[in-house]
Amino acid sequence: MKIQLPILFFLLTTLSIHSQNKKNVNEVVVDKNGKVLSKSTNKKEKIYTPDEILNSFYSNQNNINFLSKMISFRFYQKTPFVKFKDIMETKNNFCGKLIKKEIIEKEYSNNNLAIRYKLYVEYEKRKTTEQVVLIKESESSNFEVFDYNIKTN
């Protein structure tokens, strides 16, 4: 038993490290005799950098359904989806298409689970200063939009 435990730990660690680069994770549960109790395959979510999330947020501002997948449930606790949809439609009509965005300031929380971006954003009709706060629920999850504020210049 003493030899089996380190070998089992080594195998599980090796499988875990190897599976971190896979798109799917296969899980097999076995009992102490090696009998397979269950098998399952789980899709592994790709983890994006905060800047990739921010870029995707700005590139898809006219696609509310796509944006809704990037928004934290905590955002919707403050701003219901219908209101967010109306705000984005009004902003898109008022400001026009995105021309460029530039990060002015980037601030991380102490635990690195939240980032506040301050941006200069130029649209067809308006120039704005915007703030986007991204949060993540855990170390292994993607960042999501928690707060979005617009101020016209």
Which residue spans of the chain are classified as CATH 3.10.450.50? Answer: 50-152
pLDDT, average across residues 81-88: 94
- Give the tens place of pLDDT for each residue, 12-71: 433 444 444 445 666 777 777 888 777 777 666 788 999 999 999 999 999 999 999 999
CATH class of 50-152: alpha beta
Q: Which residue has the higher pLDDT, 107 or 138?
A: 107
pLDDT at 35: 81
Task: Please write the tens of the pLDDT for every residue from 89-129.
Answer: 999 999 999 999 999 999 999 999 999 999 999 999 999 99
Question: What pairs with residue 149 in β-bridges?
Answer: 131
Contact between residue 33 and residue 14 where contact means Cβ atoms under 8 Å apart: no
42 vs 75: which has the higher pLDDT = 75
DSSP alpha helix (H) spans, the chain: 4-19, 50-59, 64-68, 73-78, 81-95
Q: Which residue has the higher pLDDT, 39 or 74?
A: 74
In this predicted structure, what is the pLDDT of residue 32? 76
The pLDDT, as a whole number, for residue 25 is: 60
Tell me how far apart the alpha carbons of residues 27 and 19 are, in angstroms, rounded to a whole number: 10
